[in-house]
Structure 1
């Protein structure tokens, strides 16, 4: 038989395609599904915007009425990030509660955000407007924390997906602890899977020794998960 895709001969008589082309097509289908899900999430996020506001950062847009400041840096050396009240309250329930009340931020027109760099804050605000973000591993980590704090769930999910794709033997323990702190289930599962596969070298890693000192409870959970896996995969007698 001849494969309908690559036209190479193969031995299976009823599939219509060779194993290599079938696997490649399956991978392509999964990639398309992931892209479609990403687009659906982006559309859902952008639909949260108020229809009365033109969502862009051009000079022709209505003037921003709020300033966000990365308060971990001196105000004199860090520029503020401008934003519209309507965008902030439509994207984040935390901002909505803050700005629709008589809190200081609502009166002053300034929101101070602690423990964040200017670049991360600027990327965060840009995402609120466009649902677009350029990530590296550190930016994804910082933005996930910020997205969790202000309950921007679409951004948190996007950052978690990116971080999950970057999990490897070198960073699995760090990501495991991070995922625990920030309720990132997908990242947690990916990190646990790698840790389980490398238990023999676990105690030799500096990240493991640091985790023992800082949060031994998580170490116990790792070993409990490992023992459960051994029990579940043991051959039946």
Structure 2
């Protein structure tokens, strides 16, 4: 058992070389630009292509087969979010504070660019910190990213904490922006009430 653990640690140390390549900007061959006109970040085409078929297709297309000075823009991410995305792609993990701060934007990026490992990472983070103050955000992300298990968990949490959620400052703005989700919350709540009545 100890031998397997040591072997796993050696493998992790070996793979951490990718993080070093990112942090020290070792031989980058493409620039990644955030949507907020922040500074571009150097990256490696091969790693991007290996992490996402969407990236692979973008980099293989004729429009991106240009010199290494090429830039790809991620309009939906600001500089910090993009840096966190790249750090995750290189290392497969993020420090807690970065993960918590950018979990929603990273979840959207994971969905858009089809990065399943990042999707699972974000889902785990959201489920681990689910509360009355953030459950509406989680529900909205789950709906946008078509994540049925996360959506069901969020809806169940809302139903169990209905008073805290519905009377929160955030709910009115959420209901105006997401009427279809508000209807689903109402239906889930009525189903819960009906189930309680039939159980008596």
Q: Give the aligned partner of residue 3 of structure 2.
A: none
Q: Give the aligned partner of residue 55 of structure 2.
A: 95
For residues 116 and 92 of structure 1, the distance between their equivalents in structure 2, rounded to whole angstroms, comes to 17
User: Does 2:98 correspond to 1:147?
Assistant: no
Structure 2, unaligned stretches of length 5 or more? 1-7
Q: Is the 8 A contact 2:22 2:90 kept in 1?
A: no
User: Does 2:126 correspond to 1:163?
Assistant: yes
User: Does 2:79 correspond to 1:118?
Assistant: yes
Q: State the SS of the aligned residue for 1:169.
A: coil
Cα deviation, 1:129-167, whole Å, max 9, x if unaligned, reads: 221212343211221122222111101210121011111
Q: Give the aligned partner of residue 188 of structure 1.
A: 151
Residue 58 of structure 1 deviates from its aligned partner by: 7.2
**Cα distance, 1:97–1:117 mapped onto 2, change above 3 Å:** same
TM-score in terms of structure 2 length = 0.78
For residues 24 and 169 of structure 2, the distance between their equivalents in structure 1, rounded to whole angstroms, comes to 53
Could you say which structure has the greater relative contact order, defined with CA pairs below 8 angstroms and 6 or more residues apart? 2
Residue 225 of structure 1 deviates from its aligned partner by: 1.2
Total equivalences in the alignment: 184
Higher helix proportion (structure 1 or 2): 2
Structure 1, unaligned stretches of length 5 or more? 1-38, 47-53
For residues 61 and 217 of structure 1, the distance between their equivalents in structure 2, rounded to whole angstroms, comes to 45
User: Does 2:95 correspond to 1:134?
Assistant: yes
User: Where do 1:39-50 residues align within 5 Å?
Assistant: none
**Cα distance, 1:158–1:201 mapped onto 2, change above 3 Å:** closer
Q: State the SS of the aligned residue for 2:42.
A: strand
